[in-house]
Structure 1
Amino acid sequence: MNKNSVKNFLLPFAICLLIALALYPDSTVNLDQYSTEGLELNYHISEELAMAPEPINIQKNIFTPHLGKSFEGFKEALAFKESRGNYFTVNTLGYLGKYQFGKETLKMIGIYSPNQFLKNPELQEKAFFANTKRNKWVLRKDIKRFEGKSIGGVKVTESGILAAAHLAGPGSVKKFLRSYGSSNFSDAYGSSVKYYMKKFSGYDTSIVTPNKKAKATP
């Protein structure tokens, strides 16, 4: 091999070697760092996904909070029963909003414009909290006396009492409790004090403080 041939061979070899050293300064690779031991690699996809001719549109970032027996769970469950959670609905008897308030009840908690109330979700939430505080004050002695007892096959709980008071007013709940279930008011749609006490029992309503003069200010 002549000198020119050696030169032509070594020069490209040297360039390649320098590039390799620059890109991989540590020529010793520890393959243990790349072990798949302990990883779950046995994946499966549904036949529907595997055979789909086009990508299936999968909705991401769906979050459904689990409210459980919290106060939020209580009011949302009650709202769903009342109106399916619709702030802007009015029923056939003229009851308004998410929690189906009557106009006279609204006046007691300081709301005198039903139209303003119906258009204002924040005010509706304030109204529910204020009215629940007021009902808890009216029924405070009955809650203490009857909570934990069974009346007509229904275990009496504070949340059940407050839900029934929202339906029928605290006076009807007093009659139900003190008659041991003999007086069981039902509204025009057939929902009764007893039914509400059972359906909404066991929620944590300790956040509600009794307040005779509770108001919902716009």
Structure 2
Amino acid sequence: MRKWMRFTSPLIITFILLSFAFMPKEVKVPEALKVTEPTEVLFPKDRTVFSTAIVAPPFLGSSYIGFKEALAFKESQGNYFSINTLGYLGKYQFGIGTLQLMGVYDATSFLNDPALQEHVFQTNIARNKWILRRDIARFEGKRIKGIEVTESGMLAAAHLAGAGNVKKYLRSYGQYDVKDAYGTSIAKYMTKFSGYDVSNVSPKRNPKVSKI
């Protein structure tokens, strides 16, 4: 027994000393870093989410196709079958009144026919370009309240608020600036859709959609 005690005692003493050596020392936390009250949790409210569900607008440059696809993305994220809370329809969000003006009277058929929607868009752009032809010649390249006036900006704004309201905006030099029901103004569309090449759109007086 004594031999066993003589053999194990140094090991026990060594273990005890080592355990004291590895005990954490008390660290004094500065007052400025102490948490004295609950803090706001930032996750997930302010997190950045990377998901395949996030949709990005197509990048097609400054061509006419780039113009109409960017406009469609702003209107409906490019969804042919979209209906907004105000009843505007399709990829480019046309109202019933505008469709009838284009010669389209069946809203259900329009909503389910992507080719017809593209045809209506092209027809409406040609009509708006005819209405704004003198204003395009007069104002293009000028600045109104810091915004450069471009042909594509005018046509996009006409899609938003009507060509007549764009005329009033231009001729009042920005004093008359209407907004849609969601708060988007003519000036915002003039800025957002500035600089696209829409020269291939031919102005047409009172065009109608022909059968496809």
What's the TM-score once normalised by structure 1's chain length?
0.69
- What percent of counterpart residues are identical? 63
**Residues 65, 198 of structure 1: CA spacing in aligned structure 2 closer, same or farther, 3 A cutoff?**
closer
State whether structure 2 residue 100 is matched by structure 1 residue 100.
Answer: no
State whether structure 2 residue 209 is matched by structure 1 residue 216.
Answer: yes
What's the TM-score once normalised by structure 2's chain length?
0.71
1:25-70 Cα offsets, whole Å, 9 max, x none, are xxxxxxxxxxxxxxxxxxxxxxxxxxxxxxxxxxxxxxx9851000
State whether structure 2 residue 149 is matched by structure 1 residue 156.
Answer: yes
Query: Is residue 150–residue 195 contact of structure 2 (8 Å, CA) maintained in 1?
Result: yes
Aligned residue for 1:136, secondary structure, equals helix
Aligned residue for 2:180, secondary structure, equals coil
Query: Is residue 128–residue 163 contact of structure 2 (8 Å, CA) maintained in 1?
Result: yes
Give distance in 1, aligned partners of 2:188 and 2:61.
20
Counterpart AA for 2:66: G
Partner of 1:202: 195
State whether structure 2 residue 116 is matched by structure 1 residue 116.
Answer: no
Unpaired runs of at least 5, structure 2? 1-56
Aligned residue for 1:133, secondary structure, equals helix
Query: Is residue 111–residue 217 contact of structure 1 (8 Å, CA) maintained in 2?
Result: no
**Residues 181, 65 of structure 1: CA spacing in aligned structure 2 closer, same or farther, 3 A cutoff?**
closer
Give distance in 2, aligned partners of 1:65 and 1:173.
27
Give distance in 1, aligned partners of 2:199 and 2:144.
22
Note the aligned Cα RMSD (angstroms): 1.3
Partner of 1:147: 140
Q: After superposition, where does 1:52-131 map in structure 2 within 5 Å?
A: 66-131=59-124
